[in-house]
Amino acid sequence: MPAVETKYFGIVSYAEESAVLFPQGLPAFEEERGFVLIDSPESAPLVFLQSLARAGLCFLAIPILLIDSSYQLAIAPEDLEDLGLNAGSQPVLGTDVSVLALVSVRDGLLASANLMAPIVLNVRTRRGLQAIRRDSRYSHEHPLAPLAGVQATEGTRPAETAC
């Protein structure tokens, strides 16, 4: 099993299929293509998007449906093409794609989530991109409130995440 040096958990070994390729990187981090998804029971529902190349680069993310259970995707056709998905219709969240919102910290607390530009992962190909919405339906600084009904779960294996 490959291993990666992480920002939060020391050295973690992970299954190959937990690695995610971002062919275009992420805006402001265009050179960072390889990431691995890590979760840990103590930190649920947080998911860690850890760079494979830079131990110090790790985004905190939350499955978007936990923030807004009625979140509606609006992925641009060219982004769908880049993900290898049918550009003519929106993918099914949870079946075709996993969708995460990146979280920002302010004053030492998780403060907001970016619902305007979610991380979209093609669950079959393990390729991802940050799909910036063209509309203004959701905020890039959606305030985070306590997530009711969210409990840390026993036995969650690192780097295997349902979102």
Partner 1 sequence: MLVLRRRAGESFLIGEEIEVEVLAVSQQGAKIGIRAPKETVVLRKELKVTQEQNAQAASGPSAQDLEQALRKLRP
What the block records as the tokens of 96 is: 């075709």
* Residue choice 5, 8, 33, 127 for contact with partner 1 (CB under 8 A): 8
Residue 52 near partner 1 by CB under 8 A: no
* CB nearer to partner 1: pick between 65 and 117: 117
Q: Which long-range contacts (CB under 8 A, 24 or more apart) does 124-129 make?
A: 124/96, 125/83, 125/84, 126/17, 126/19, 126/20, 126/21, 127/20, 127/21, 127/22, 127/23, 127/83, 127/84, 128/20, 128/21, 128/22, 128/35, 128/83, 129/22, 129/23, 129/24, 129/79, 129/82, 129/83
From 12-20, 78-86, 92-100, 141-149, span contacting partner 1 (CB under 8 A) = 141-149
Site string for partner 1, 111-130 (x = CB under 8 A): x--x-xx------------x
Q: Fill in the amino acid letter for 62.
A: I
Residue 74 binds partner 1, judged by CB under 8 A: no
Please identify which residue in 141, 153, 160, 162 interacts with partner 1, judged by CB under 8 A: 141
76 contributes a contact to partner 1 by CB under 8 A: no
- The residue range among 15-23, 91-99, 106-114, 154-162 that interacts with partner 1, by the rule CB under 8 A, is 106-114
DSSP classification of residue 104: E
Binding site for partner 1 (CB under 8 A): 7-8, 26-29, 42-43, 45-46, 57-60, 62, 102-105, 108-111, 114, 116-117, 130, 132-134, 140-141, 144, 146-150
